[in-house]
Amino acid sequence: MSKLSKKVFEMSLLCAEALKPDLEKKFGKGSKTFNSKYVPVLFEFMYFFLHLTDRYAFDQLGHERRNKLYDQLVPTTIDAMIKNSFGHSCPKNIRDGIEKDFYSNLSNAQMDYGSCKELLLDSKDDTRTLEKLKSGAKSKSMVGQLTDNLSQIIEGEINCNAFFPMLIWGVVIESLKKKELQALVSEASKEID
């Protein structure tokens, strides 16, 4: 289970790090604004990869065993994230607040990403940017929703820059190429039997 939780965190961190130079340029390296954007970006990637892992677990293990795996995976992943991002000496009250916010946002993200049928969709098959701007409609693909969510975090609005989705798609697809999450779900499932 620890390998799987570390991989989810590692993939999330690598994706967030790919956005870091642009965030530093835009908001100032180490600034309060930078930190107020970077940490939620990291969390959004974690929600995405936790949801994707949940889907893999459901496909491989079925409903009941997937629930057991997920119930063990989330706390260990949050723990790894807090230790890495905030240090081992993070005060308990701050740690508790981070965990509470993370769980609350994770539940919402699970519902949002869960409404998507596909990981990726061709742009012609997905919700158009104009429709998103006019009605607040969300993308129909998981990576599209991830892109929309990251844009909201960073810009406070739906992304209209054609290069941003390409960047997100690229970092996510690169992370998924080796199919490590699927293999680690299978390996971690042996711990829950």
Model-level pTM? Answer: 0.92
Residue ranges in the chain modelled with pLDDT below 70: 193
- The full set of domain ranges for the chain reads 2-189
Which pLDDT does position 193 carry in this prediction?
63
Instruction: Encode pLDDT of 166-179 as tens digits.
Output: 999 999 999 999 99
Instruction: Encode pLDDT of 81-106 as tens digits.
Output: 888 877 777 788 888 888 889 999 99
Instruction: Encode pLDDT of 183-192 as tens digits.
Output: 999 999 998 8
Q: Which residue stretches of 28-89 are H helix?
A: 32-86
Integer Cα distance of 69 and 77 in angstroms? 12
Integer Cα distance of 118 and 112 in angstroms? 13
What value does the mean pLDDT of the chain take?
A: 91
Which pLDDT does position 48 carry in this prediction?
98
* CB-based contacts of 107-114 (< 8 A; 24+ apart in sequence): 109/44, 109/47, 109/48, 109/50, 109/51, 109/149, 110/47, 110/50, 110/51, 110/54, 112/138, 112/145, 112/149, 113/47, 113/48, 113/51, 113/52, 113/142, 113/145, 113/146, 114/51
The region that residue 179 occupies, defined by phi over 0 for left and psi between -120 and 50 for alpha, beta otherwise, is left
